[in-house]
Amino acid sequence: MTNSFANDIQSYLQHDDVALAVRRMLDAALDTGKTDLITRAISWSKSYHQQEAETLFTKMPPQFYDDGTQLLIAIQSVQPDNVHTSKALLEVSNITKQYSNSSFSLKPISLKLNTGKVLGVVGENGNGKTTLLRMLGGQLAINGGSIKYCLLKNPDEYAIKNHVAFIPQRIPKWYGGLKDNLHFSASLAGIYGAENELMVSFMLERLNLTAYAHLNWDSISSGYRTRFEIARVLLQKPQLLILDEPLANLDIKAQQTILTDLIYMAKGIHNPMGIVLSSQQLHEVEKVADTVIFIKQGQCMFSSNDAATTITNTAIEFETSVTRDVILAIFADKSIDLHYNGGFYTIVTSDTAESTIKKLVDNISISYFRDITYSTKRFFN
Amino acid sequence: MNSDRPFVPNFLQKFDKKLLITNPTVWSVRTHLVLYFVLLFTIVISLFCAALLQDARADNSVATITSFVIMIAIIGFIIWLKYLLRFNVFKRFGKWHSADGLVTYLLIFFTTLLFTFLPFIPSIVQSTIANVTYTSQELVNDINEINSTANLLEYDKIPKKWTADTFYIFKSTYTVKPNSTDTIWQYNVPINTTDKANNFNISDKDLEEKLLYTDSLIKINDSNYILYKAPQYAYVSSYRFLENDKLKILSNKELYNAVIKNYVKPNREQLLQRMAFFKSKYFLKDNEYDYGSNTDNDYANAIVKTYSLYSIDRGINNVAEAQSWFFRDKIWLINLLFYFTLSLSLLVFIFRHSTTKTFFLSILTAVILSILSALFVVITSKNESAIFITMFVYYVLFTVLALTIFNSTTKSLVQGISLNLIVFFTPILPLLCVGYYVQCIYEYNEFKNNNINTSLYYICAEVVGFVLLLILIEPLFKKLYRKWYALPEA
C-alpha cells in the first residue's frame, strides 16, 4: 500500500463511495498483517453492511466515518514499506494441444505472467479458451512446448495443483456448510487456529458474504456460488488463479466488484498472485487485464502486448439508425471496411479515431460509439 | 461452523471446530463424531438388550436384535460415507504432512471397526448377563445333581442292564493313487459274517472310533470284541461342556457307578425338594414341551415329563449357549471382524484417493480376473498351487504397472486400477505365499510329516500382511496416489 492508497480511501469516504472504501480498507488492513487491525477492519465493515441492510443506502452515521479515519491512521502508522514487487510467475512457450478424438487443435501459444498481473483470454465459444486455461492449470496435458511455474522449484504435479487454483465455468457443488468449507480451505493452506478464524471472517466480509455463511450450497444463487468459490480458493492462497468465465453468473454490479476486487487482491502484499481469466465480457475484461489475448480456432490471433506494432488501422464501433448507404456516402473519399452485426456498425479505416468519430458525429445521428482499435472487440464480427 | 447438527453436544461441537481449524486431516475423517454416535447407540442398544435379554434361560432373540443392529450399522456406515466424508484433504490438493497418509488410513480403519463391532453388542450383553447370573461350574454341578436325583427318585423304573454288541473285526488297507493325493481304501470283509442279533462286522478303522464311545468292553481275541453300553441315565445335558476337561458332566456310565451300582435308598422328600429347587431355578413355561396325550411308556420320557426336565434342559442349554457365544471361541470372531474391517477400510481409503470411475473399474477388474482365473484353474485341472501362483503373478504385474506412474506424464486408467488393486491386495500377499508354501508341504510331504501345525504360519502371515500395508502406505502408496491423482488428463 502507498500513501496514495490511503488518499484513495479517504477520497472514497468523502464522496460517499463507502462500499469501495470498506473493501479497500480491508485490503489495507490485511496487508499490514496485524491481527488487531484486520479485526478492526472486519468490525468496521460489518457495521457498514449492517447499516446498509437496515437503512437501504441512506448516509452512514458520523461515528462510522470517524472510526474509518481512526482505522486508516492506525493502518498508515504500521504500514510496511515493502510494496508488492512483481515477480515472474508463469512462462509458457509454444504449447500445443491435439485431442485424439477431435479435429480441434490448439496452435502454439506463448505467454508470460507476473504476480500482480491479469491476463484476459477472449474468443468465441469452442475456440480453445478453456483448453488453454486447463493446460495452464495442469489439468490437461500439453502435446508440445513447455509451461514453467517460475516460483516452484522442480514441482511435481500435486505441487502444481496446490500452487494453482482453477475455478471452472460450472463450479462443482459444495457439500456441507459453506463456512465449514471455508475453514477447511484455510486449514488446507496451513492457516490454523485463531488465524484460520480471522481469515475466514475476513474473506466473508471482503466478498460481502457474511450474511450467507450459515447457509448451504443449495440455498444460494449462482452468483453467490461464484463468490463463495472465489473466497474458498483465495483462502488456499494460490499464486496463480485461473478463472474460466467467472462473470457468467454475476450481475452487472457484481461483475465490476469482483473484477476490481481480484485486481486489488492480486496486487496485495498478503498473497500476490497472477490471474488468468476468460470471459465474453470483453469490455470488462479489457478494463482490468494487463494483457488480453484473442483466440480464434485454436490460434492466438492477437495479443494486446503486441497491439502497438501489429495494429495499423483504426476501428470504431457505433450505433445509428441510418442505413449503410448513408454511412458509406460520408466516407466516399476514403477506403473503409464497414461491418454490421445486427446491433452495431464497425468501421475500419486508416484515418485516426478522432477524425473518424468527428466525421460521423457531424453527419449523422449517433446514439453510441467506442474506439475499439486496441480492443479484441474488433475481431468479433 | 455448522452448529445445527442434531444430538451433538456443545463440547463435541467445539472439539469438532477446533479440529477443523487445526488438523484438517483428522477432522475430515470425522472419527470423533462417529465415535460419539457409536457410543451413544451402544449405550441405548445395550440397555435395550439388557431389558430384553435379562432372562438367560429363555430362547434368545439375539439374532433378531443383531439383524436390527446390522441394519443400523449399515445405515450409519452409509451416512459416514455420504455426509461425513465429504471433505478430502488429498483431493483438494491440500498440504500433506509426513504421516498424514498413515494417520488417515488408521483413522478410517478405526472408524470402520466401530461400525463392524456394533452387531456384536447384543451378543456381548447377552453373554455378560448369562455369565453374571450363572457360572459354568454351577451349571455343570446342577446338571449332574439333577440327573443323579432323577435316577435316585425313579430307581424302580430305570433299566439296570447294559446292552452288549459283539463285533468281528476285518482289516482295511489304503493305497495312494499315482500322481495324486487321493487314497483308495480296500476292505477285507470276512466271508463267514454272522447274522445273529447284536453281532456285527466292523473294520479295524471303524472300531477305533467305536471304542472311544463304548462304556465297557471285553476283548475275546484280536478280531472279536464285545462292547457294552449303559442305558440312558442322563436326562439333562449340555454339549458345551461335554468336551471340557475341567467341567465334567457325568456320563451314563458314571451316573450308573455313582448312583445305581451301589444304590442306597434316599430321603425322598429331600430329593423332591431339590428337584423343586432346580425347577424353580431353570424352568420356564415358554421352554416347556407340549407332551399332549402322548402315552409313551419309555422310562426316560416319563422321567423327563414328571420333573419337567425338558424345560430345565432347554433353560440350561440356553444359558450355556449365551455364556459361550461371545466370550469363548473368539478367534474366528476376531478374524471375521478383522477381515471385514480391513476390506471395508481399504475400499474407503482407495475411494478417497482415486477417482470414482477408476474405483469402480478396479472392482470390476478384480471380479473379472477372479472369474477368469477360476475358469482357467477348472479347465486346466490345476490344483490350489496354481491359484496362488496366478494371484501372485497378478500382484507382480499390477505392481509393475503401478510403479510406471512415477514416469507418467498423463493420468492413465490402467495405472490407477493397478494401484488400487495392489493397495487392496497387499495385506493378503503374505497369506498367498504361506498358502503356496503349505500347499507344497501338503503335496510333497503329506505322509511323511502330516502333523505340521500350519495355523501359526497363517496367523503370522495375517499380522505381517497388515504391518506391510501400514509400512508401505507412506513411502509408496501415498507417493503413487499423489503423483497419479495430480497428473493431467491426456
Greatest alpha-carbon span in chain B: 97
- The rounded mean pLDDT for chain B is 86
Picking from A157, A177, A190, the nearest residue to B487 by CB comes out as A157
- For residue B144, the model assigns a pLDDT of 92
The shortest C-alpha distance from B1 to chain A (Å) reads 5
Picking from B2, B21, B24, the nearest residue to A176 by CB comes out as B2
Determine the residue of chain B that is closest to A135 in CA distance. B488
- For residue B15, the model assigns a pLDDT of 94
* A160 within 8 A of A138, measured Cβ to Cβ: yes
> Mutate which of B16, B92, B481, B484 to disrupt the A interface (most A C-beta within 10 Å)?
B92
**Which residues have C-beta within 8 Å of that of residue A104, sequence separation ≥ 6?**
A126, A128, A131, A298
* A148 within 8 A of A311, measured Cβ to Cβ: no
- For residue A339, the model assigns a pLDDT of 86
> In this complex, do B410 and A141 lie within 8 Å of one another by their Cβ atoms?
yes
**Do β-strands B172-176 and A366-371 pair in parallel, antiparallel, or remain unpaired?**
unpaired
> In this complex, do B95 and A189 lie within 8 Å of one another by their Cβ atoms?
yes
Q: Which of B143, B149, B130, B145 is nearest to B313 (CA)?
A: B143
> Regarding predicted confidence, which is higher, A66 or B171?
A66
The whole-angstrom separation of Cα B391 and Cα B397 is 10
CB atoms within 10 A of CB B232: 15
Q: Is B2 on the interface with A (CB under 8 A)?
A: yes
Characterize A152-180 residue by residue with b for buried, 16 or more Cβ atoms within 10 angstroms of its Cβ, and e for exposed: beebebbbbbbbbbbbbeebeebeebbbb
Determine the residue of chain A that is closest to B410 in CA distance. A141
pLDDT at B250 over 70: yes
Confidence label for B1 from pLDDT (cuts 50, 70 and 90): very low
Q: Is B407 on the interface with A (CB under 8 A)?
A: no
Average pLDDT, 10 consecutive residues per value, chain A (381 residues): 72 87 91 92 92 73 89 83 76 90 88 91 87 93 92 88 90 90 92 94 93 92 89 91 86 83 83 89 82 87 73 86 88 84 85 88 89 77 62
Q: How far is CA B197 from CA B200, B210, B370, in A?
A: 8, 18, 56
- For residue B96, the model assigns a pLDDT of 78
User: CA angle, corner B86, sides to B82 and B91, nearest 5?
Assistant: 130
Picking from B1, B409, B487, the nearest residue to A183 by CB comes out as B1
What pLDDT, in 10s, does the model give residues B418-474? 999 999 999 999 999 998 888 887 766 654 555 667 788 888 999 999 999 999 999
What is the rounded (10 degree) CA torsion for A60, A65, A71, A73? 160
Helices B31-52 and B121-133 sit at what angle, rounded to 10 degrees? 40
Decide: helix, strand or coil at residue A205: helix
The whole-angstrom separation of Cα A49 and Cα A213 is 14
Phi first, then psi: what are they for B383, rounded to 5°? -95, -170
The whole-angstrom separation of Cα A38 and Cα B40 is 42
What pLDDT, in 10s, does the model give residues B364-398? 999 999 998 888 888 877 777 788 888 899 999 99
* A210 within 8 A of A48, measured Cβ to Cβ: no
- For residue B400, the model assigns a pLDDT of 96
Determine the residue of chain B that is closest to A215 in CA distance. B2
> In this complex, do A177 and B1 lie within 8 Å of one another by their Cβ atoms?
yes
pLDDT at B192 over 60: no
Determine the residue of chain B that is closest to A163 in CA distance. B93
- For residue B256, the model assigns a pLDDT of 92
Q: Which of B324, B117, B145, B107 is nearest to B234 (CA)?
A: B145
The whole-angstrom separation of Cα A368 and Cα A316 is 10
What is the rounded (10 degree) CA torsion for B63, B69, B75, B76? -150
Q: Which chain A residues are within 8 Å of B490, Cβ to Cβ?
A: 100, 141
Confidence label for B5 from pLDDT (cuts 50, 70 and 90): low
Please classify residue A378 by burial: count the beta carbons closer than 10 Å to its beta carbon, then call 0-12 exposed, 13-18 middle and 19+ buried: buried
Picking from B93, B409, B489, the nearest residue to A158 by CB comes out as B93
Please classify residue B209 by burial: count the beta carbons closer than 10 Å to its beta carbon, then call 0-12 exposed, 13-18 middle and 19+ buried: exposed
> In this complex, do B490 and A160 lie within 8 Å of one another by their Cβ atoms?
no
**Which residues have C-beta within 8 Å of that of residue B104, sequence separation ≥ 6?**
B25, B29, B89, B90, B349, B352
* B40 within 8 A of B72, measured Cβ to Cβ: no
> Mutate which of A98, A163, A180 to disrupt the B interface (most B C-beta within 10 Å)?
A180
The shortest C-alpha distance from B367 to chain A (Å) reads 30
Q: Which chain A residues are within 8 Å of B416, Cβ to Cβ?
A: none
Decide: helix, strand or coil at residue A147: strand
The whole-angstrom separation of Cα A78 and Cα A324 is 62
Q: How far is CA A70 from CA A10, A37, A79, A343, B351, in A?
A: 11, 11, 14, 51, 53
The whole-angstrom separation of Cα A65 and Cα A72 is 10
Per-residue H/E/C for chain B? CCCCCCCCCHHHHHHHHHHHHHCHHHHHHCHHHHHHHHHHHHHHHHHHHHHHCCCCCCCCCHHHHHHHHHHHHHHHHHHHHHHHCCCCCCCCCCCCCCCHHHHHHHHHHHHHHHHHHHHHHHHHHHHHHHHHHCCHHHHHHHHHHHHHHHHHHCCCCCCCCCEEEEEEEECEEEEECCCCCCEEEEECCCCCCCCCCCEEEEEHHHHHHHHHHCCEEEEEECCEEEEEECCCCCCCCCHHHHCCCCCCCCCHHHHHHHHHCCCCCCCHHHHHHHHHHHHHHHCCHHHCCCCCCCCCCCHHHHHHHHCCHHHHHHHHHHHHHHHHHHHCCHHHHHHHHHHHHHHHHHHHHHHHHCCHHHHHHHHHHHHHHHHHHHHHHHHCCCCHHHHHHHHHHHHHHHHHHHHHHHHCCCCCHHHHHHHHHHHHHHHHHHHHHHHHHHHHHHHHHCCCCCCCCCHHHHHHHHHHHHHHHHHHHHHHHHHHHHHHHHCCEC
Q: Which chain A residues are within 8 Å of B486, Cβ to Cβ?
A: 138, 156-158, 160-161
Q: Which chain B residues are within 8 Å of A183, Cβ to Cβ?
A: 1, 17, 20-21
**A→B interface, C-beta within 8 Å:** 100, 135, 138-141, 156-158, 160-162, 175-177, 179-181, 183-190, 192-193, 196-197, 214, 236
> Mutate which of A106, A163, A188 to disrupt the B interface (most B C-beta within 10 Å)?
A188
Q: Which chain A residues are within 8 Å of B33, Cβ to Cβ?
A: none
> Regarding predicted confidence, which is higher, B171 or A205?
A205
pLDDT at B31 over 80: yes
Decide: helix, strand or coil at residue A88: strand
The one-letter amino acid at A98: Q
> In this complex, do A184 and B20 lie within 8 Å of one another by their Cβ atoms?
yes
> In this complex, do B86 and A175 lie within 8 Å of one another by their Cβ atoms?
yes
Least confident of B94-108, B218-232, B344-358, B373-387: B373-387
Q: Is B86 on the interface with A (CB under 8 A)?
A: yes
> Regarding predicted confidence, which is higher, A146 or B179?
A146
Decide: helix, strand or coil at residue A276: strand
The whole-angstrom separation of Cα B374 and Cα A44 is 72
Strands lying side by side in the sheet with A366-371: A337-340, A345-349, A314-320, A366-371
Percent of chain B exceeding pLDDT 70 equals 88
The whole-angstrom separation of Cα A379 and Cα B323 is 86
> In this complex, do A156 and B94 lie within 8 Å of one another by their Cβ atoms?
no
> Regarding predicted confidence, which is higher, B333 or B32?
B32
The whole-angstrom separation of Cα B83 and Cα B77 is 10
Determine the residue of chain B that is closest to A233 in CA distance. B92
Characterize A293-318 residue by residue with b for buried, 16 or more Cβ atoms within 10 angstroms of its Cβ, and e for exposed: bbbbebebebbbeeeeeeeeebbbbb
The shortest C-alpha distance from A238 to chain B (Å) reads 11
Give the helix ranges, DSSP H, for chain A: 3-14, 18-32, 35-55, 62-78, 129-136, 157-163, 178-188, 193-206, 222-235, 252-267, 282-288, 307-310, 324-330, 353-363
Q: How far is CA B94 from CA A188, B1, B32, B489, in A?
A: 4, 20, 21, 20
Helices A193-206 and A18-32 sit at what angle, rounded to 10 degrees? 160
> In this complex, do A140 and B22 lie within 8 Å of one another by their Cβ atoms?
no
What pLDDT, in 10s, does the model give residues B45-58? 999 998 888 888 88
Decide: helix, strand or coil at residue A220: coil
First-to-final CA distance of chain B: 39
* A290 within 8 A of A275, measured Cβ to Cβ: no
Contacts with A, B 15-34, CB within 8 Å:
17, 20-24, 27-28
Instruction: Provide the grid cell at A270.
Output: 498478503
User: CA angle, corner B30, sides to B25 and B32, nearest 5?
Assistant: 110
**Which residues have C-beta within 8 Å of that of residue A286, sequence separation ≥ 6?**
A120, A292, A304, A375, A376, A377
Determine the residue of chain B that is closest to A164 in CA distance. B93
The whole-angstrom separation of Cα A326 and Cα A364 is 9
Residue for grid cell 443323579: B148
Number of A–B residue contacts, CB under 8 Å = 85
Beta bridge partners of A314: A349
The whole-angstrom separation of Cα B476 and Cα B479 is 5
**Do β-strands A274-278 and A118-122 pair in parallel, antiparallel, or remain unpaired?**
parallel
